Amino acid sequence: MDSYIILTNNPLAARKLEGRRTVCYISVPYEELLREAEKRICQGHRLLSHPLSGSVKPKETPYKSIMLSGKKEEVDPPSVRMIEAAIQTCEKFTDRQKSYRQEVYEDFQLIDWTLLESAMESADVW
């Protein structure tokens, strides 16, 4: 079992990691992905990457990949607080993603993939 799982709504990340990592791909909006992460955190997974990493604001990008511990343990209060704060922050933003051209969606996928790739490199060192 991997030491972490990747929860993502980014089809690029899911394709690149298929067969290499434990990936849970769900085709849902950004905020729904955060809520799925919250559910898993409340079941005992720990948050291993910041749910609002990167410089693109929530609801400007439709894509997010989040690293969670692969093993369930006791609920981690800091993980719960961080995901709840991320959801509250996300709720403050207006959904703007429906107005983008296809190329912009591809750029957002690449940005998320690059952030995830960096996080995985750091996690794999440990």
3-state DSSP call for residue 73?
coil
Do the bridges between strand 4-8 and strand 23-25 make them parallel or antiparallel, or are there none, so unpaired? parallel
| pLDDT one-digit tens code per residue, 10-29 | 999 999 999 999 999 999 99
- Cα–Cα distances in Å, from 97 out to 7, 11, 57? 20, 16, 11
42: CB partners within 8 A, 6+ apart:
75, 80
What pTM was computed for the model? 0.90
| pLDDT one-digit tens code per residue, 43-85 | 999 999 999 988 777 778 899 999 999 999 999 999 999 999 9
